[in-house]
Amino acid sequence: MKNKKYRWCVAGLMVAMVMCSCGKSTDSISNKNEEVVEEKQPAENTEEIVSEVKNSYFFDASQENPTYTVNAFLEEDVDEVNMKVEQVATYDNGDVYTINIQYADCPGRYYYENTDRFNLGFFYVTDSKIIMIREQEDVPTEDEFISDGILVCDTEDSTINNDGEEVEITNEDGTCRCSIYNTLIESGFYSTFVWTEGKGLTCFRSGYGAEGEPIELVLQDYRDIKSISLLDLYDFDDDSSLENGMYTLVTDKASEEEFLSYFYTDDSQYEVIEDAGAEVYVGKVEDKNVFVSLVSNSKSEYPKEAYGFKYSPSDAVKEAKYIPYQEGIEVLDGIKSIDGKEYQYIDEIKPLLDYQEKEYIGEDGKIVKVEYSSDSEEYGTYNSSGTLYYDSQERPFYKSYYVTSGSKYMFYLYDEEGNLIQIFDFGGMAYKGLEENQDIEIGVDFKTYIFER
């Protein structure tokens, strides 16, 4: 525990530095004398403050109480906390917000007994900058932000040192990082703000040198998972229902085109993704989404295993939430159900299970596939062995694996920004043969998982 008197010296030094730092970095914002705008009152007492400024690095209107995963939180045992983001004023050139960590009083919350570490400060958000003022009770005026504030987000890199307090801003790939720290003493107070385009404050850190009493919070950027299973939708007395899932082995171009004709009438209805030795046809016909995959398991072009599916997005059932920004080469390491319990299908939709033996195989310095296996006696035969193939961008593209009911596949589709948007899981034993062509099996076990923000 730090000496409180010593902390006061550090805090006092910081305040002095804050009052004289960073003004030079914000002189591009015009100075205007503004009266202090009172904090927002309940709707019945005052008009609602409406934001006029859009800054892609700050939170949007829907993020009033974003949830953060806790990597460190003083000496508290807590997994997640919320922050409250509230607009309290608006000026000609920007809007003013407060950001507060929502957590009960606890040891370490205050330094020198009166400065609240859970109150991140007032943030003046313009169209290109975010300026912060800490340790102030009243809403700062626009002039106060310009003269006394700390620039914590800017599109240009900068480093400013005022009497030992250094403020460094760096930008990379849509992320702006601001580090504030005392360079005069080793155990000085520090704070870090990481702002990400389209997301807001994605990481916040504060503490003392040598990691004394740290706080480290990372934004939980969950996406909802919706699932569709044809087995839940099939009418097993209706062949037209079973024809929404088909399988066959195509042996030449003619049989391949015949199989595609069951799903698409012309090539304007789909787009083709070719990678890692597989072809995927993704499109929409009338009110149904359509997915067709063709995979050759040999070095020759034919035969190919062909699967096709039709489904309606309205059939989706919300199943879970997915954390898409986990460390490591795999995806889907973080999934939890809506009610907080373990997600029952997590082993099905992760590319690789944690317990499996893995051998990464590369070509020209890039991973092209992973062969994996596990002890089927201990873990069962479901997905006990298989191969995960990576696309040209080294992302999981499709997986072939074996279960007791037969071979199965999983495909992973991404949007233009590289976000995983959908997984297809299919194969096993089909229900019956198509009446006019017994070489085509219908009633295939098919699931899809759709990821939405």
Question: Is residue 404 a part of any domain in this protein?
Answer: no
Q: Which domain holds residue 196?
A: 67-219
Write down the pLDDT at residue 350.
60
Question: Is residue 304 a part of any domain in this protein?
Answer: yes
**pLDDT of 382 strictly over 90:** no
Most confident of 59-73, 108-122, 245-259, 401-415: 245-259
Arithmetic mean of pLDDT over the chain: 80
- The 10s digit of each residue's pLDDT in 393-403 is 888 899 998 88
pLDDT band at 354 (very low <50, low <70, confident <90, very high): low
* Structural element, H or E, at residue 346: helix 346-349
Higher pLDDT, 349 or 26: 349
pLDDT band at 28 (very low <50, low <70, confident <90, very high): very low
Domain boundary among 276, 311, 346: 311
| Buried b or exposed e, range 34-67, using 16+ CB within 10 angstroms | beebeebeeeeeeeebeeebebebbbeeeeeebe
Same domain membership, residue 289 and residue 209: no
Question: Is residue 389 a part of any domain in this protein?
Answer: no
Same domain membership, residue 252 and residue 215: no
Question: Is residue 177 a part of any domain in this protein?
Answer: yes
% of the chain with per-residue pLDDT over 70: 77
Same domain membership, residue 253 and residue 190: no
Domain boundary among 295, 311, 327: 311
Domain boundary among 170, 188, 219: 219
Same domain membership, residue 274 and residue 177: no
pLDDT band at 139 (very low <50, low <70, confident <90, very high): very high
Question: Is residue 423 a part of any domain in this protein?
Answer: no
Same domain membership, residue 107 and residue 211: yes
Question: Is residue 414 a part of any domain in this protein?
Answer: no
Question: Is residue 413 a part of any domain in this protein?
Answer: no
Pick from 341, 346, 344: which is nearest to 326 by CA? 346
Average pLDDT on 61-90 reads 90
Question: Is residue 325 a part of any domain in this protein?
Answer: no
**pLDDT of 7 strictly over 70:** no
Write down the pLDDT at residue 213.
85
What's the pTM?
0.58
The DSSP symbol for 40 reads: P
**pLDDT of 214 strictly over 70:** yes
Same domain membership, residue 202 and residue 115: yes
Same domain membership, residue 268 and residue 128: no
Same domain membership, residue 198 and residue 84: yes
Omega before 140 cis (within 30°)? Answer: no
Average pLDDT on 188-197 reads 90
Write down the pLDDT at residue 433.
94
Q: Which residues contact 130 (CB under 8 A, 6 or more apart)?
A: 55, 57, 58, 123, 124, 151, 152, 153, 154, 195
- The 10s digit of each residue's pLDDT in 83-133 is 999 999 999 899 999 999 999 999 889 876 777 999 999 999 999 999 999
Number of domains observed in the structure of the chain: 2
Query: What's the burial of 28, exposed, middle or buried (CB within 10 Å: 0-12/13-18/19+)?
Result: exposed
Same domain membership, residue 184 and residue 78: yes
Same domain membership, residue 181 and residue 289: no
Write down the pLDDT at residue 48.
54
**pLDDT of 311 strictly over 90:** yes
Same domain membership, residue 280 and residue 189: no
Same domain membership, residue 249 and residue 212: no
